Amino acid sequence: RKTYCSVIGRMLNKLPSNFSKDDVEFLLEKMDLSPRTYNLYRTIFNFYTLKYRGFSLDFTKAKVDKSLPVLVKKEELKAVLDTIPNIKHKLGIALAYGSGLRIHEICRVKKHDINFNSQTLFVYGKGGKDRITIIPTITANALEHYLDKIKNNPSTYLFSTYRDHISERSFQERLKKAISDSKTKYFTFHDLRHSFAINLLNKKVDIETVRKLLGHGSLRTTQIYLQCMTTDLTALARSV
């Protein structure tokens, strides 16, 4: 029920009051969801529109890609970040890659959620699954500098506009432009989160810790990243 209410609330907040089926389809595409999440949102909202709006969502479901998650390499990320002049967008992307945040979590980070002493971040997760994740040293240093620059901004949000927190669309469009400008392979915010998990496993962090940092409810969700771990095959061959 929590998931149902969360999806309905999130969708209704972004739709006009007298929305149509086309409005819903456009919004789902703009939200840059993974195929599974897209289909979940579509199914839940279809139940809502049938019951309360009198129409069904008959547009095509997203095809679930069974390929392995994309790993974004550090040099690829650096090439992208080097094209972005705005520190706000740079930090948002860095939090996806170095802390494993989802895009809507990045937008809603509050200043007091950051603990510089422990280099940790409190995250308001989806479905009420709050968690604590890590902040890499280079990102923590950049965040301290950024917070000093905006110390006179009264907003509680880390990334704010004059009215509220920054929008997901702002981050998505900035990332797409940076990828185009840097001529790097295409990837999404969710791929940066995937890369966070894969990088931790490559550093021999145990999978249960990775699960907690990602905020996964089930270990089975996290286990897909085990297939993406990179191994030095030459070193392995010489050791056996």
Number of other CB atoms surrounding residue 115 within 10 Å: 13
- Active-site position among 102, 108, 194, 211: 102
> Catalytic: which of 90, 108, 193, 194?
193
Identity (one letter) of the amino acid at 82? D
Q: Is 157 a catalytic residue?
A: no
Name the active-site residue from 108, 126, 165, 211: 126
Asked about 174 being catalytic, the answer comes back as: no
DSSP state of 99: H
Q: Is 104 a catalytic residue?
A: no
Exposed e or buried b per residue across 66-84, where buried means at least 16 C-beta atoms within 10 angstroms of its C-beta: eeebbbbeeebbebbbebb
Q: Which of 101, 82, 78 is nearest to 158 (CA)?
A: 101
Calpha distance 132→130 (Å, rounded): 7
Six token digits for residue 134: 């890590």
Beta strand 120-123 pairing with 114-115: antiparallel
Indicate if 163 belongs to the active site. no
* 225 in catalytic set: yes
Q: Which of 86, 95, 143 is nearest to 123 (CA)?
A: 95
The SS3 call for residue 75 is helix
> 216 an active-site residue?
yes
Q: Measure Cα distances from 44 to 11, 39, 48, 70, 151 in Å.
A: 10, 9, 7, 27, 41
Which residues are annotated as catalytic?
Answer: 102, 126, 190, 193, 216, 225
